[in-house]
Amino acid sequence: MLRIGQVAKESGVGVETVRFYENEGLIEAAERSASGYRQFSTSTIEQIRFIQHAKKLGFALQEISELVNLKNAPDANCADVKKTARAKIADIQEKIDSLEQIKATLQPLVDQCKSADPISDCPILNALDENLVNE
């Protein structure tokens, strides 16, 4: 059994993160020692690493919770996980499309900007003032 500080150090997160994950049900609840200290099993480190890896792939905590539940569900299969991953890919693509649209709107304004012009002639600020940017 490990104390919360040991779990945090071994998994590369802060103590508050371990508490948060426990409160959110993302990791197994700790047992309490006679003196009241949280005592986690060594598997908690792997659970936290799983969460951290999922976060790096862009999964939100709600999605990670779904993945954790699927991982622990005896009747779940890969199709269930695939569905969650496909939804994440669609979400990522939507964000990419939105960012590309923002870039396409901003780039011509940047290209028009002449550094020596007075601020009153700044095409970027004028476009923002006049609400000329695509929404």
Confidence bin at 116 (pLDDT 50/70/90): confident
What is the spatial distance between Cα 58 and Cα 101, in angstroms, rounded to a whole number? 21
Going from N- to C-terminal start, the domains of the chain cover 1-58
For 29, which DSSP code? P
Count CB-CB contacts under 10 A for residue 92.
Answer: 12
pLDDT tens digit sequence for 62-89:
999 999 999 989 999 999 999 999 999 9
Count CB-CB contacts under 10 A for residue 61.
Answer: 14
For 134, which DSSP code? -
Rg (CA), the chain: 23
Asked if 127 and 109 touch (Cβ cutoff 8 Å), the reply is: yes
* Single pTM value for the model: 0.78
Residue that is written with structure tokens 């919770």 in the block: 65
Tokens at residue 45, please? 């480190």
Tokens at residue 113, please? 């900007």
Identify the sign of the CA torsion 75, 50, 97, 130: positive
CATH topology (fold) of 1-58: Multidrug-efflux Transporter Regulator; Chain: A; Domain 2 (1.10.1660)
Asked if 70 and 64 touch (Cβ cutoff 8 Å), the reply is: no
Asked if 41 and 52 touch (Cβ cutoff 8 Å), the reply is: no
pLDDT tens digit sequence for 28-75:
988 888 888 889 999 999 999 999 999 999 999 999 999 999 998 999
